[in-house]
Structure 1
Amino acid sequence: MGHGYEGEASNSAVAKALGISEEDVDNYVTIDTNDSDDGLVYNYIAVFNEATPPEVLAAAGVGEDDLSVELSVNVFDEEE
């Protein structure tokens, strides 16, 4: 089941939500989901890898101890 976070359009949406570049998203971010047992997605979680530069973490508002930030379930919705 696709969660709507594959491809370049998703990198753009995540970059915009986090305030970082699409290249930084591509290089350092993995998207996970917080979902129910029956597959209902409550929200997305941007998980930064340990090699992420401190300035990218700071720009995204992520602490070096946590390396993740919650994103709205609507982060991948296309604007009308």
Structure 2
Amino acid sequence: MHSAIGVCHCDIKLQNLWVNLHTHQLHICDFGSSKKVAPGEPNKSYICSRYHRAPEMIFRATEYTTASDMWSAGCFVAEFLLSIQMHP
């Protein structure tokens, strides 16, 4: 999605992910906030769920890239790992 068409999801979080129980594939859903990002093109500065927002979005930058989705995914993975550690 990022490299093929340059689309940033802008709201990666648990509620927007689901797993196919038959194939065990992870899927991303709810593309309501997604946007095609291009260098030099301004974007909304206030987007993405609070706890998964990349630093550039916290500081209301209007120029961000698909890397903000990677930050959000990292936040999700950290939450997941911490929840496993807290509830073995």
The normalised TM-score by structure 1 is 0.31
The normalised TM-score by structure 2 is 0.30
